[in-house]
Chain A
C-alpha cells in the first residue's frame, strides 16, 4: 500500500476547504479506504469540530513534530468509520511550529499504512500553505463561483505550478443553480475556461452542510444530502470511477434550453 497525498487548498478563506477535507475523507473511508486527515491550520484548527472529533484530542501535529508523541498516538480514530483518522493541528502555536520537511517526513511515515492522506491547508500563501503542499501528490483546489475566490484559486494554481506540484484538480463549491440560471453567478463552464484545470467536483450550496457541521456529522454520511452526494462522487472519481457531473446550471430548465437553441441557430 502506498498512500496518495492530497492537499485541499484555495488561497481564499471561507470557501469550504475544511468541509471538503472532512467530507472527502469520510466518503473515501465509507468506500473502505484507509484515510488519515491532517489539519495543517495550526493556531486555527477546525477539522476536528467538522469531523465531530474535538473531544478526543490528546496529542496534535506539533506534538509529533517536537517528539512529545509518536505519530500513531496523535492519530484520532473516527467513531463511525473504522479506517478514518484525524491528526489535529495545535491550537496554541503558529505556522512556524512545523516546517515543510516535517510534513514530508510525517507523510512518508504514513504512506505505507494508508490509502489516502488528506491535508487541510490554511488560507493564504505563506508558511502554512508551503507546509500543506510540501508532501502533496495532487492538490485539490476549492473555489466558489465568485470573483475573489476564482482569482485566489488562479494564484494558488500558479504557485503550485511554480513548485512543480500543479496544476491540481478543481472543486467548485457552493454553487447556487438558481443564481447561475438567472445570470448572476459564474457557471461551471466560465470557471473552467478561466482556470483551465481538470474538474473534480461540483458541490451545490446546501443547508445540510451547515446542519452537518453543527452536529459534527459530515454531510457525506447523510444519504439525503445533495452536497453529501457530490462529495461521495468526488471520492469515487478519486478511486478512478467515471461519475458524470450533475448539471448545476439550471440547464435542465426549458427556458434556458430554448434560449440556447435560439442562440445556436442565430449564430449559425
Chain B
C-alpha cells in the first residue's frame, strides 16, 4: 500500500533525492569523523578480538557504524552475544 502511494506521489524508490540524502549521510559521517570505511573495519576487528578474550562473539553479527545527532558524531557498536555464551553460563 505504502509503496503504491510512494510511486503515486513520486516519493518511492524512484526518488533520487532520497538516494542523495542517504548517500550524503553516509559520506558525511566518514568526512566529519575522519574515520573511513577501512578504519571502521579495523576498529570492528579490534573490538571483536578484545571481546573474544572474555566472551563468545559471533564476528559476522557485529556491526560498527557512525551516525550523527545534529553536528555531533557517534560511533555505534552493536554486538549480539553468541548463543553459546549463554548456554555455557547455564551449564
Instruction: Output the nearest chain A residue to B34 by Cβ-Cβ distance.
Output: A158
Asked if B2 contacts A183 (CB within 8 A), the reply is no
Asked if B10 contacts A181 (CB within 8 A), the reply is yes
- A194-B9 CB under 8 A given contacts A158-B32, A183-B18: no
Judge whether B70 is part of the interface by a CB distance below 8 angstroms: yes
Q: What per-residue 1/0 map shows which CB atoms of A201-222 lie under 8 Å from chain B?
A: 0000000000000000000000
Asked if A259 contacts B8 (CB within 8 A), the reply is yes
- A183-B14 CB under 8 A given contacts A194-B28, A263-B5: yes
Total contacting residues, chain B, CB less than 8 A:
24
Instruction: Output the nearest chain B residue to A166 by Cβ-Cβ distance.
Output: B71
User: Which residues of A sit under 8 angstroms from B17, Cβ to Cβ?
Assistant: 180, 183-187, 190
Binds A, one of B19-27, B42-50, B55-63, B75-83: B19-27
Partner of B2, one of A180, A181, A266: A266
A-B pairs with the 6 shortest C-beta distances? A183-B15, A259-B9, A183-B10, A196-B70, A196-B71, A184-B16
Residue numbers of B with Cβ under 8 A of A are 1-2, 5, 8-11, 14-18, 20-21, 23-25, 27-28, 31-32, 68, 70-71
